[in-house]
Structure 1
Amino acid sequence: MMESMCLVEMSPVSNTLQVNPATLSFLKTLEGPLKVVAIFGPKGTGKSFLLDQLAGQDQGLLHSPGIWLQCLPHPTKPDATLLLLDTEGLPEQMEENEKSVSFKLFLLDVLLCNVFIYNTKGAWDLQKELDKLIYVKKLPDKVRVLEDCPLENNFLLSSVLPDFVWCLRDMAPDSFWEKELQGHDHNLDSLISSPAVLEATPSSYIQTLFPSQKAFCFHSPHVDGKGGKIVSSDMLHPIFQEQLESFKDYILNQRPKNSLGSKFINGKDWSASLKRFVDMLSRDEPILLNDGWDGEEATSSWENDGSFNEPWTDPPWTIPERNETPSTLQPSVWEPRVPPPSSSRAVPRTGQPNDMEEPMCLIENNPGEKLQVNQEALQLLQMIQQPVVVVAIVGLYRTGKSYLMNKLAGRDKGGFSLGATVQANTKGIWMWCRPHPRKPGHTLVLLDTEGLGDVEKSNVENDSWVFALSILLSSTFVYNSMGTIDQFALEKLHYVTELTEHIKVKASGGQNLEEDEDDRIPDDFVWFFPTFIWAVRDFTLQLELDGRPISGDEYLENALQRREGLPEKLDFAKKYIREYFPSRKCFVFDRPATRQELVKLEDLPERKLNHDFVQEAHRFRNYIYETAEAKVIPGGHTVTGTLLGNLAVTYVDAIRSGAIPCIENAVLALAQIENSAAVHDGAKRYGEMAELMFTLPTETVEELLKVHAECENEAIQVFLARAFKDDGQEYQKQLKNQIEIKFEEICRRNEQESLDRCQAVLFELFQDLEEKICNGSYSVPGGYQCFQDDQRRTVESYRLTPQKGLMASMALEEFLKSKETAAQSILQADRNLTDRQKEIEAEKARAEASQREANLQRQLKEQTQRMAEDNERSYKAHEAQLIAKMEEDRRRQQREHEQVLNFKLQEQSRLLQEGFQREAGRLQTEIGTLQNQIHHQSRKKRCVIS
């Protein structure tokens, strides 16, 4: 195929990327290995011209937007195929949607090629010109090498990205940059400054992420210097032709260091991975390079998009080992991790645990039974490794809770059951997991609870437990009521006054005064409770106070204002809402429709709903999306879906056993589970990186220890990102021990592979010597001297042989010892030597052997010393990262203390204004305690730093 074919284009209908099925069909016919070259850059820089020159033709075709493919036999590798990817040029000014498409095209180029060319023209400030490639900064966020890798995975990316080539077009003749490049063999480092640790420019990302960077400087291609279209090679300037030949020689003959493109062994595999990448980009998902996927599901998603209807094939995707040849790759196999639904209500899912098509029951409240966790929903929740924003809604039955939750889920139809009769539908606590629409990398978990006060339910006593669990599991708690916030509504919220009977902060009744004040958990619910939102439905009054309009928040605060002289019982709900929930918000909703239309509310389009109701619903949804934070547990540790599932199990088990759910016990139980998992994750990450980075055998112990240190540092970061409350560093010690065991195994493998390599080299090099010994070639006068000369030459050849590893000297010493008997026999048989000469030669051989042994022992001693020094380095690495995490935790805890202190000061001021002197005095005691804690933290922090 010499003519270009469209490979990827933009769908004008769906505004998503599409792959040309005709081009894919052609690609599947390519059998041999591929070399893929992609070019990217601004418009009008001559990208297509360069690719045409690589293809050996003078004039190419004009391309429409997207990625165009040119395929031809590789000019210097007979069995290979050359694929050239030409990408539409970037305009100077772009809309946001155009930037998004350009970034996706950039991603495809980078992931699918061996060599990535960035083409620019006429630049004077080269650093600034290179920094225009802003897309490179998004690579670590959008592409992940390993499934549980942190977003800062630059180091792993550098092991899989292609070579980076910068083409500087139309540079001034004899410019400084041209001379600089010639003197540094086209190294990009000569053009730009080295990346600083704190610098985050595109050029620093290029130097950090890409395994190899080169730059080629081009004069103007025109002989006359006037410009115009070039239709033949005769029109090219001789200097430009010379520069072009250097560029073509590098692109076509240079072997890429380590690129994903080299792992595609044929066109079928390459096109399968292309389809997978485009599918994930169309769904705005991060690209995971080493994960399999469900081919049937992927096929159906493409069919629905209208792109093609061909069978989907599995990709040959595995993470490459360093210096691995592409001939051994095997397809990855996708296995479903979620069992099929067993409940009566089938739950279709998209294949991702955080993107459920419909909600499912998480905590069941069956008639005549105790609360229990639904295992199927639990398994799904525990598969979510992202932070979770948990929004729970509670309220009286038939108050429209489910409608609001469906809006948060982005659904008008299907979802939480609405119901239109006086009979409640929802039983227990139902869960719906959705990708967070505003916070990438987060999951929105919606919890819809059964209505409180249902006269038909048999488990009325469970209402308080459902209320308490909703608070314990959520980061944002919505209370839904009808009418107005009056005394009757507050009395209905009596569950908040019973929380002390259903939730405990600490396992013990009182505080341990000998405990470090900085580490103890205060016996105060305000530290752990979620944000409180009161949703008032069917509100018919005017939002006015003393003749002036007020907001919903002011309406709530006025309703919670306490009056001196009222019976204390009537003030309980106000008191506890103010005391437990420092962050409060209120939304007031008009009736959505007429009573007759309410029965079909789910089917009513928004245009038929009350306009004020729709506006308030949008405000409510946007407020949740923008401000609701991820769930955290005491100590500031962010909760993932896995942790949330464990929390649910811990609390429900306590309720089933007749105990009161205890936050401290739950956190300690979670810490044990999470810290054990963190040890596993850290050790796993070390093993994955070791397999990826170690090239055994290593030449020196320094090389071995350097890679070990990098892998260990990454493993510690993975561990600390998940671990918490590892007060005695017990789990970090377990991680260190597991890493040491893995490293010892790597050292053993390294030594064994080195020995195997050395023995193979020695056997090959000494084969001629062995044959001469066996056929008696040295059993002649002067034979011993000939033997000595041959052995020295062979030993020198052995020492010059590369990649023998650490055991080179030991293997040689052992081998020569095995030949000493033969050498003595040849010496004794040499009739030219006198007895005295034989004695001298024997002594000389012993001295050489002794010297070799001494050198070997010195090397072993140095290696032992280096290993001991590395143990000290390892200890300091663990210690440094632990101290950094402790400092971060301490600062976070101090911020929490200061926030609670400000809240208590505000509440004290309000109590004094309302005339509650005694309660204000009690708060003053708590304020003093908090101030002492903050002061203690500051002193403790200074001691650590000093």
Structure 2
Amino acid sequence: MSKPVCLVDPCLRVNPEALSLLRRLSGPLCVVAIFGPKGTGKSFLLDQLAGQEKGFGSAPGIWLQRLPHPTKPNENLLLLDTEGVPEQMEEEEYEFFSRLFCLNVLLCDLFIYNTKGDEDPQKELDKLAYVAELDNKVQVLEDCALENSFPLSAVLPPFVWCLRDVASDTVWEEMLQASNHEIDVLLTSLAEDTPSSCVQKLFPSHKAFCFHSPHLNEIEKEALLDEPHPVFQRQLKVFKSYVLSKTQNRNISGEVLSEKLEQFVEALSRNRPILLDIICGGLQAASASVDYSFYLECENYEEFVETTRELPKEEIPRTSHPSVWEPMVPQNPRTSPTTAQANDMEAPICLIENRPGEKLGVNQEALEILQKIKQPVVVVAIVGLYRTGKSYLMNKLAGKDQGGFSLGATIQANTKGIWMWCRPHPLKPDHTLVLLDTEGLGDVEKSNTENDSWIFALSVLLSSTFVYNSMSTINHYALEQMHYVTELTEHIKMKTPNRNRSKSDDGFPDQFASFFPTFIWVVRDFTLQLALQDGRRIIEDEYLENALERKTDAPEKQDLPKKCLREYFPNRKCFVFDRPASRHDLQFLEHLPESKLSPEFVEQARRFCNYIYENAQAKVIQGGHVVTGSSLGSLAESYTEAIRRGSIPCIENAVLALAQIENSAAVHEAVQRYEAMADLMLMMPTEDVEELLRVHSSCEEEAIQVFMNRSFKDEGQAFQRQLGNQLQSKLKELCRRNEQASSDRCQAVLMELFQDMEGKICDGSYSVRGGYQQFLNDQQNVVENYNMVAEKGLMAAKVLQDFLQAKEMVAQSILQTDQNLTEKQKETEVAKARAEASEREAQLQREMKEKTQRMAQEMERSYEEHERYLMAKMEEDKRNLLAEQERLLNQKLQEQSRLQQEGFHHEYSRLQGEIQNLRSQISQTRQEPTCLIF
């Protein structure tokens, strides 16, 4: 957790140190901002959210603190604390706070307005006059209608109103709880143009929370050792849970946030409106954003709107991919692809480097981008001869008509190695589309042509959809160029060689089909009619299958590519494209507007893109495990490193290495989730062990679910056992902390209650006749008052016993000096004290035994919980394996039928053996019981 740092100073300048901190943040950001009058305890409330005693101060400006998000692993929680607004101020001061307010609501994901409680709460909300000025400081433009402002509420965060130090006898908290904390119940009037009505109108969500004073009186403040009052803690827990659940990151990185901040401050300093651009229909996926240099040529916002109104829509200056949150100020032209979110790169970046005279290598910057992508990835790779228009097609998939993958307009190839472009999936919000554009095959100017086969093999290994791009027709020449597919067994192996396995088990063609991606053959500049010799029209898929039809008398050179394509890629698809434009215009293809392109080509490109968006599946590996961006990076590194060592990339080895990485990360992520939930749910000290175990059970269940969602191939459940051991350690740590919190609380209460007796002992008040009985009476009063104090925790009896034992010597001393008692009476009193101590000790032993038994039961429950999740996962894995085996069986049956029709009887018989073997495997999988070794 970092210390707070000034973000915006009193002169409305951005602090370079804070910008540097933001730019170093790698994960997504969730931003919470607080604003309100001076002296309302804003900083204290943020410190409570951050789980710290003292962090934010009362310094002027806006201050920033970063900490890990308590409930969302791999995300950052940013807290923005703004100096308190004074009651009386000059006009310049008012404008300054108005700008701070504007910055807060634009930068954050959740905005908190903090005020003191009042007899009329609406008066407090109506003090927020700045909200009525937002329309003047911020202009939101709709992408498809620049002449109209889009509702400002589309870009503002949820609004939370905190009423502090509310008197305990008010019913506001009950009213808010009954209405799910809706602001409306506290407002008596919603007159037009008041701050209250503006809050209701502008902010998409608005809630209110009441807080009693953290310390109701000085005695409790001292007794609690400066901890907030339990009522305040309960209210804070509800508030904190709501805040953390509402902080949804907008895929804004620290780099992007720092740029936005500078742009917003610049606009406010120049008294210009901040212009935001969003797409038509609301804040959805990104489309196109305004070219800012065009805006700068205009003197003001009105001139900009007037100028753009006069232009046809397609001529309004645009770049290709908008941010839904983009101010109209200049961008840095040197911005790298990594300045945007990892799954929304501004431009492609090289993933696999192929430098002249060197071995293939992985670009570390690209790996860092992939490591940040925790979503499943749909990986589309394209290969083909150089100068066949591969990059143009990939740019269309990226939704970018200009820029993107380099096209080039000469006979020389542009792309070297494999380039990567990560984009948000247009139809699957929880997926990332990863586009891989490869260097052209067969470039005569290459100095290391042997890498062509490795580029082809890597594209197959990394993709879930593999596009082969060729020109003109699928003929003998085109199939000859597919010799790379016949070499795949020389560049890829399924398993590590094993003497105990048969040759067919080590990864031959029948095994590849279950792992290889969907194959799409794209034929460019296609001029033939899609028809057979008899004139019957066919579709593109039939054209491909006819081209792959095998002849028994065909030369092996012609037959082998067909055979390999059919065996390795049973899932096949074909698209044909007309020439996009005239030969003269082709060299300017990247800059041609759609109106200059062939209508047939435009429609074919649209069909191709829609097919990919709708049908291309996420990348999966053996066992049906879905690959994320970080997993894809690990696979790329593993395969490329094998090639660099002179080895053949082994799928089994890469998957096992990935399993080690992912399972270790799954354990770490699960433990983090457990800790975050425990911190949020557990209010220490608990009154008994049952409450703590209930929290542990809920947190453990969530942690196991997190682990199961990410882990795979956990052989022998080694990592799940590791997780179980760590969670048991966390439980013991929680118990220790809970006991310590209870002990500290109880000792503080006893010290406070025993203070008067301590004074009497010191001044000899008990060293008189009858003093012992007075001591016993006072001590009994202390015990009774102690027992009446709430929320002492489960160590209450133990601490009391230890405390009384510590005072036993004092009691005996007073007893012996009491001349009012005979020796016999003194002996009786000593025996009585010992008996009471013995009874208390016996009660403690019973409680300890019950606690030990309960912990043993919890261990058994925990084991059963792990077993239940493991059984469910194993059953799911079994279903996935059966589905994969049955899919492969159907594909082999179809190929067998086709081989019989074509007259390949020898291959038909071979395939019959594979089919029988696969049917046996399916039968064995169905009958095999789910066995646990956990």
Instruction: Decide whether aligned partners of structure 1 residues 692 and 543 sit closer, same or farther in structure 2, where only a CA change above 3 A counts.
Output: same
Instruction: Count matched residues.
Output: 719
The Cα of 1:346 is off from its aligned counterpart by: 6.8
- 1:783-827: per-residue Cα shift (whole Å, max 9, x none)? 222211111111011111112222111111111111111111222
Of 657, 662, 678, 1:690 maps to 678
- In 1, Cα distance between equivalents of 2:680 and 2:649: 45
Which structure 2 residues correspond to residues 215-230 of structure 1 after superposition, within 5 A? none
Of 467, 470, 473, 1:478 maps to 467
Of 798, 809, 825, 1:821 maps to 809
Gaps of 5+ in 1: 1-23, 36-66, 88-96, 116-161, 167-185, 189-209, 222-228, 232-247, 265-269, 313-343
Of 364, 389, 408, 1:419 maps to 408
- In 2, Cα distance between equivalents of 1:109 and 1:447: 36
1:539 paired to 2:547: no
Aligned to 1:434, the other structure's residue is in SS state: strand
The Cα of 1:554 is off from its aligned counterpart by: 1.1
Which structure 2 residues correspond to residues 57-96 of structure 1 after superposition, within 5 A? 74-76=117-119, 81-82=124-125
Counterpart in the other structure of 2:515: 528
Which structure 2 residues correspond to residues 83-162 of structure 1 after superposition, within 5 A? 112-113=160-161
Instruction: Decide whether aligned partners of structure 1 residues 856 and 83 sit closer, same or farther in structure 2, where only a CA change above 3 A counts.
Output: farther
Q: Check whether the contact 2:255–2:339 (CA below 8 A) recurs between aligned residues.
A: no
1:805 paired to 2:793: yes
Counterpart in the other structure of 1:448: 437
Aligned to 2:519, the other structure's residue is in SS state: strand
Which residue identity lines up with residue 582 of structure 1 in the other structure?
P
Counterpart in the other structure of 1:241: none
Q: Check whether the contact 2:382–2:390 (CA below 8 A) recurs between aligned residues.
A: yes
The Cα of 1:917 is off from its aligned counterpart by: 1.6
Which residue identity lines up with residue 820 of structure 2 in the other structure?
N
Instruction: Decide whether aligned partners of structure 1 residues 111 and 676 sit closer, same or farther in structure 2, where only a CA change above 3 A counts.
Output: farther
Aligned to 1:415, the other structure's residue is in SS state: coil
Q: Check whether the contact 1:681–1:718 (CA below 8 A) recurs between aligned residues.
A: yes
Gaps of 5+ in 2: 1-31, 46-109, 133-143, 164-171, 193-206, 213-230, 276-332
Instruction: Decide whether aligned partners of structure 1 residues 859 and 214 sit closer, same or farther in structure 2, where only a CA change above 3 A counts.
Output: farther
- In 2, Cα distance between equivalents of 1:640 and 1:523: 27
Counterpart in the other structure of 2:584: 596
- In 2, Cα distance between equivalents of 1:32 and 1:709: 38
Instruction: Decide whether aligned partners of structure 1 residues 717 and 399 sit closer, same or farther in structure 2, where only a CA change above 3 A counts.
Output: same
The Cα of 1:216 is off from its aligned counterpart by: 9.3
- In 2, Cα distance between equivalents of 1:465 and 1:382: 24
Which structure 2 residues correspond to residues 508-907 of structure 1 after superposition, within 5 A? 508=497, 512=501, 524-545=511-532, 546-907=534-895
Of 360, 363, 379, 1:390 maps to 379
Which residue identity lines up with residue 486 of structure 1 in the other structure?
N
- In 2, Cα distance between equivalents of 1:103 and 1:887: 50
- 1:21-44: per-residue Cα shift (whole Å, max 9, x none)? xxx999677663589xxxxxxxxx
Q: If the length of structure 1 is used for normalisation, what is the TM-score?
A: 0.69
The Cα of 1:742 is off from its aligned counterpart by: 2.5
Counterpart in the other structure of 1:368: 357
- In 2, Cα distance between equivalents of 1:620 and 1:79: 57
Counterpart in the other structure of 2:925: 937
- In 2, Cα distance between equivalents of 1:705 and 1:395: 60
Q: Check whether the contact 1:535–1:587 (CA below 8 A) recurs between aligned residues.
A: yes
CA RMSD of aligned residues (A): 4.4
Q: Check whether the contact 1:632–1:638 (CA below 8 A) recurs between aligned residues.
A: yes
Of 407, 419, 424, 1:430 maps to 419
Aligned to 1:728, the other structure's residue is in SS state: helix
Instruction: Decide whether aligned partners of structure 1 residues 552 and 521 sit closer, same or farther in structure 2, where only a CA change above 3 A counts.
Output: closer
The Cα of 1:928 is off from its aligned counterpart by: 1.1
Counterpart in the other structure of 1:507: 496
- In 2, Cα distance between equivalents of 1:69 and 1:880: 42
The Cα of 1:715 is off from its aligned counterpart by: 1.2
The Cα of 1:726 is off from its aligned counterpart by: 0.5
1:498 paired to 2:487: yes
Deviates more, 1:393-402 or 1:754-763: 754-763
- 1:493-520: per-residue Cα shift (whole Å, max 9, x none)? 01101100010011125774899x9x99
The Cα of 1:432 is off from its aligned counterpart by: 0.7
The Cα of 1:250 is off from its aligned counterpart by: 10
Which residue identity lines up with residue 598 of structure 1 in the other structure?
L
- In 2, Cα distance between equivalents of 1:84 and 1:729: 60
The Cα of 1:838 is off from its aligned counterpart by: 1.6
- In 2, Cα distance between equivalents of 1:351 and 1:629: 25
Of 448, 455, 471, 1:459 maps to 448
Counterpart in the other structure of 2:336: 347
The Cα of 1:829 is off from its aligned counterpart by: 2.1
Q: Check whether the contact 1:347–1:360 (CA below 8 A) recurs between aligned residues.
A: no
Aligned to 1:361, the other structure's residue is in SS state: strand
The Cα of 1:705 is off from its aligned counterpart by: 1.1
Aligned to 2:382, the other structure's residue is in SS state: strand
Q: Check whether the contact 1:501–1:660 (CA below 8 A) recurs between aligned residues.
A: yes
- In 1, Cα distance between equivalents of 2:822 and 2:647: 98
- 1:530-587: per-residue Cα shift (whole Å, max 9, x none)? 0100000000001112312211111111111112222233211111111111111111
Of 894, 905, 908, 1:917 maps to 905
Counterpart in the other structure of 1:399: 388
- In 2, Cα distance between equivalents of 1:684 and 1:25: 25
Which residue identity lines up with residue 748 of structure 2 in the other structure?
A
- 1:819-841: per-residue Cα shift (whole Å, max 9, x none)? 11111122222222222222211
Q: Check whether the contact 1:683–1:735 (CA below 8 A) recurs between aligned residues.
A: yes
Of 297, 300, 312, 2:259 maps to 297
Instruction: Decide whether aligned partners of structure 1 residues 345 and 505 sit closer, same or farther in structure 2, where only a CA change above 3 A counts.
Output: farther
- In 1, Cα distance between equivalents of 2:407 and 2:150: 43
Q: Check whether the contact 2:745–2:792 (CA below 8 A) recurs between aligned residues.
A: yes
Which residue identity lines up with residue 494 of structure 1 in the other structure?
H
Q: If the length of structure 2 is used for normalisation, what is the TM-score?
A: 0.70
Which structure 2 residues correspond to residues 1-40 of structure 1 after superposition, within 5 A? 32=40
Q: Check whether the contact 2:371–2:633 (CA below 8 A) recurs between aligned residues.
A: yes
Counterpart in the other structure of 2:75: none
- In 2, Cα distance between equivalents of 1:81 and 1:110: 19
Which residue identity lines up with residue 534 of structure 1 in the other structure?
W
Aligned to 1:806, the other structure's residue is in SS state: coil
- In 1, Cα distance between equivalents of 2:112 and 2:863: 53
Aligned to 1:527, the other structure's residue is in SS state: coil
Q: Check whether the contact 1:505–1:523 (CA below 8 A) recurs between aligned residues.
A: no
Of 370, 376, 386, 1:381 maps to 370
Instruction: Decide whether aligned partners of structure 1 residues 74 and 814 sit closer, same or farther in structure 2, where only a CA change above 3 A counts.
Output: closer
Q: Check whether the contact 1:757–1:804 (CA below 8 A) recurs between aligned residues.
A: yes
Q: Check whether the contact 1:76–1:252 (CA below 8 A) recurs between aligned residues.
A: no
Aligned to 1:112, the other structure's residue is in SS state: strand
The Cα of 1:295 is off from its aligned counterpart by: 3.6
- 1:365-392: per-residue Cα shift (whole Å, max 9, x none)? 1111111111111111222111111100
Counterpart in the other structure of 1:196: none
Instruction: Decide whether aligned partners of structure 1 residues 659 and 346 sit closer, same or farther in structure 2, where only a CA change above 3 A counts.
Output: farther
Instruction: Decide whether aligned partners of structure 1 residues 723 and 298 sit closer, same or farther in structure 2, where only a CA change above 3 A counts.
Output: same
